[in-house]
Structure 1
Amino acid sequence: MGSEKSQDIDDLRLFHTAEHPCGYWPQRIARDLVMDPRDPQLPRWYPQALQWGFRRSGDIVYRPHCQGCRACVAVRIPVMRFRPDRSQRRCLARNADVVTRVLPPERTPEQLALYQRYLGARHRNGGMDDHGPSEFDQFLTGRWSNGRFIELRDPGSDGPGPLLAVAVTDVVPGALSAVYTFFDPDQARRGLGTLAVLRQLQWAAEQGYPHLYLGYWIKGHPKMDYKRRFRPLEGFNGRNWRDMDAGEST
């Protein structure tokens, strides 16, 4: 068994991408480490890749590997130890009537329309403005991942009401991974991004999954601050996962 696993690791191929503008700090140059997307064993390696600090985007499993920069820190929430803070409890109370539905990762016209509205409001001129059905499928569903679309909806009198948010979530042995979330930009007061994580945590707890992976956190980046508010939070240092709250007052 051990020698067979060692042979698998020897056969695992990794590639460096070309340098490209950083998606978080535009003035910086980025580079990624990517698992071979043609490898038929990629779905089997994916759970381990998450533990190594990688992340999925479409069919690509990658990890930032930039020269002279280690700003991107892979983070995850230990589900059973998580306790919502006061702000998160208010978010839950404010959205107590929101309906959660866990669905197969199959695009609907309503989801696509919300996705396009979200990109237009939150990521205008970010290179994704013209995303249509094919880009939606390529970016969010993937061909081999075991994903789910977690829909958050307003309550309706005769069933679920208008779509508020979609949290694209991968299911792997022992964990959930938050791939991407988009939501109604006109419902800012609801805190739908925070609510999506809280509902993913609830689902993970119900299913007995120990971890919810949140992708990357970058210290000082305004779009990443919300991840630090989920405590306890574990960060990957390149070798091990460590509690980022150790020594801090909570």
Structure 2
Amino acid sequence: MRHTLPVAPQFYVTASQPCPYLDGKVERKLFTGLADEHGKALNDTLSKQGFRRSQNVLYRPSCANCAACLSARIRVADFKPRNSHKRILRKNRDLMREAHTAWATDEQYDLFKDYLETRHADGGMADMDMFEFAAMVEETPVQTRIIEYFEDAPNARRKLQAASLTDILDDGLSMVYSFFNPDRSGKSPGTHMILDHIALAQEMGLDYVYLGYWVPGSPKMDYKAKFSGLEVYIANQWQALDCPEDVNPEMLKQDRGSILEQVATIKLPDVLIDGKG
């Protein structure tokens, strides 16, 4: 019987477009599709190399002459809450966590729209309709949960206050996208969700919480640099970042190299190399 090895994923690059984080810059992404059969292995492996998932696509920045977008994650074992984190947990003690299969609801979509209209009205997601939102939540070939946060109230009166679309990786939780009730902004619900994901990772025996990209100099991203145990992916390796000031500005200006050079550094899961599994 003839054995055919799986086909390695193909990598592509997007056209350049204005950067949403740094004025005067343009962004470009390197991406590949997620095959259903080996999607989990590919997601697990590439997430450890700075990639993020969006539906059936894995991507990471591939900008010319700029490396300011840094994939960030928290080492759960080394996280120690600040006093400000403890205050945020107290302010949100009325929230109860519920984890569900990745399934979109009208209540989620209404909250998502309120969040975008208040905080990201000029962003690329602002015009998403319910069908596009459902695709974002439900089109996943990996183990994904929608983690919802409700006010601690009787079911008849409880209201969804925040939610995170979260992938369960072999070494951590990846917060794909989160949103919250803008009326609760004073209670920092976004930070609360990260703190709660750290607690959830501890409960599950996982090592990391993946936060997505941190962009030094972007006010929208400052909150990601305020967690101890933070690591960023620089020069093809994770590096501890105990102080945001540790990032060398010159390092962020480096050219990542040609697309072929970047692809050559990517490590693929064994199942796509030697047919194991």
Q: TM-score, normalised by structure 1?
A: 0.90
User: Are 1:52 and 2:25 an aligned pair?
Assistant: no
Aligned with residue 70 of structure 2, among 60, 69, 73: 73
Q: Which structure 2 residues correspond to residues 38-117 of structure 1 after superposition, within 5 A?
A: 40-117=37-114
Q: Say which of 2, 8, 12 aligns to 2:9.
A: 12
Q: Per the alignment, in what secondary structure is the counterpart of residue 182 of structure 2?
A: coil
Cα drift, residue 134 of structure 1 = 1.4
Q: Deviations over 1:48-95 (max 9, x none)?
A: 101110001122100000000000011100112111101001001111
Give the drift of 1:130. Answer: 2.3
**Letter paired with 2:239:** R
* Secondary structure in 1 matching 2:179: strand
> Structure 2 vs 1, CA of residues 56 and 158 (structure 1 numbering), >3 Å: closer, same or farther?
closer
Structure 1 residues 228 and 137, CA gap change in structure 2 (3 angstroms):
same
Which residue of 150, 159, 162 maps to 2:159? 162
Which of 5, 13, 27 does residue 30 from structure 1 map onto?
A: 27
Does residue 1:177 correspond to 2:171, yes or no? no
Give distance in 2, aligned partners of 1:221 and 1:248: 14
The alignment status of 1:231 with 2:228, answered yes or no, reads yes
Partner of residue 245 from structure 1, selected from 242, 247, 264 = 242
Q: 1:183 to 1:68 in 2, by over 3 A?
A: same
- Cα deviation, residue 157, structure 1: 3.2
The TM-score, its normalising length taken from structure 2, stands at 0.81
The structure whose RCO (Cα within 8 Å, separation 6+) is larger is: 2
Of the structure 1 ranges 38-47 and 102-111, higher mean CA displacement relative to structure 2 is found in 38-47
Identity, in percent, stands at 34
Q: Count residues in correspondence.
A: 243
RMSD: 2.3
Shift in Å at residue 40 of structure 1?
Answer: 4.9
Unmatched runs of 5 consecutive residues or more in structure 2: 247-277
Instruction: Check the 8 A contact 2:104/2:137 in 1, yes or no.
Output: no
Distance 1:160 1:153, change over 3 A: farther
Deviations 1:214-246 (A, max 9, x none): 111111110110000011201111321111117
Is the 8 Å Cα contact of residues 19 and 31 (structure 1) preserved in structure 2? yes
